[in-house]
Every structure is written in C-alpha cells, then in structure tokens.
Amino acid sequence: MITSTEIDLKEIASWCHDAADFLSRYLDPDLAAMRKEIISRHAGKKKAMLEIASDLAEGIYSLSDEDRNEAQKMLKDKYGFGYEYFQQGKLRVIESILKSGKVGSMSQYEKALDFLSDTTNDQDMLVSLSKIVAAYEEKLIKKQGKK
C-alpha cells in the first residue's frame, strides 16, 4: 500500500486535476472551471489538497459502476493509486473513533458527522458512531456551560 509520505503534493495536485477533469463531464462547465481553479490555488497546501482529493474521491465513488471503474483505472494506471486511497483516510479515522470509543478532536468530530450523514454506510457502525458522537456533543455542551 502507498503511504502519504510516498506521495508528494505535486502528485496529489496532478491527481486532483485529472480526477476533476474526469468528473467535469458531469458538471456545469463553470463549476468544473471553478473546481480546477480551487485545485490550482491550493496546490502546495497539504491539508487543503488532501481535503480536495477526498472530495473528488467521494464524487468518483458516487458514479455508476462503469464510470467509477473507468476513473479508477485511469487514475491507477497514471498514479498507482485511485479514489479509494483518499477514502481510506476517512475510514481509518472512523475506525479509530470506534476502537477508542471516543471522539478526540473537532476534526474527528467533523469526519464522524460526515460519515453519519451517509446512510449507505454500515448500520451497526452508524449506530455505534452515533452514540460516541452524542457523548462528545454532551461533553462540548458541558464545556460551554462552564464558560
């Protein structure tokens, strides 16, 4: 498996441009152009590029099987990794939350909310994660009450 340290920011930016080009056939041309501009503007900023790549991966994931497989093949042939590479990061965070039984940061909380919003995810995971998120939200409310 490829690790994030083996992939440089230029390669991620290039991957994002190619993924955006592939997805552009499903978008209004103005939106596709805006997406490309955002990628160019954030190239070199690791966190932003990983978020953009994750969003693009989500877009590819939502395509029909045939189109998703076409995008996956194109990206894997060119870069050695496809859309699932960027989805794995989210899943690792969710698995970490489920394993520890708690949300450890606002970033984890946001990823958990994103995961919970997708009802196609495993129902048992959704139920367990929902309980953990509720406990974290209670903790946040108590913290604000002390201020």
CA distance to 25, 46, 67, 78, 141, per residue, from 42 (Å): 22, 8, 27, 22, 34
Instruction: Tell me, yes or no, whether 82 and 105 share the same domain.
Output: no
**What pLDDT is attached to residue 147?**
62
Instruction: Say if residues 16 and 53 touch (Cβ distance below 8 Å).
Output: yes
Is there a domain that residue 145 lies in? yes
Point out the residues of the chain with pLDDT beneath 50: 1-6
Q: Do 77 and 105 fall into the same domain?
A: no
Domain assignment present for 96? no
Residue 68 in any domain: the answer is: yes
Q: So what's the pLDDT on residue 1? A: 45
Tally of domains within the chain? 2
Are 47 and 117 in the same domain? no
Residue 130 lies in a domain: yes
Q: What pLDDT shows up at residue 40?
A: 94
Judgement on whether residues 105 and 79 belong to the same structural domain of the protein:
no
Q: What is the pTM of this model?
A: 0.65
Query: Are 19 and 64 within one domain?
Result: yes
Residues 52, 26 share a domain: yes
- For 35, other C-beta atoms within 10 Å of its C-beta total 22
- What per-residue confidence (pLDDT) applies to 33? 95
Q: For residues 113 and 140, state if they share a domain.
A: yes
Name the residue among 62, 79, 61 with its Cα closest to residue 18. Answer: 79
In a domain, 92, yes or no: no
In this structure, is residue 21 part of a structural domain? yes
Which of 124, 95, 119, 108 is closest to 135 using CA atoms? 108
pLDDT of the residue at 11: 92
Nearest CA among 14, 8, 6 for reference residue 75: 14
Distance, CA of 103 to CA of 81 (rounded, Å): 29
Could you tell me if 15 and 53 are in contact, meaning their C-beta atoms sit under 8 angstroms apart?
Answer: yes
Is 42 found in the same domain as 18?
Answer: yes
pLDDT of residue 59: 92
Q: What is the pLDDT of residue 122?
A: 80
Residues 94-116 pLDDT 10s: 999 999 999 999 989 988 998 89
87, 68 contact by CB (below 8 A): no
Same structural domain, 69 and 115: no
Q: Is residue 93 part of a domain?
A: no
Domain range holding 63?
1-86
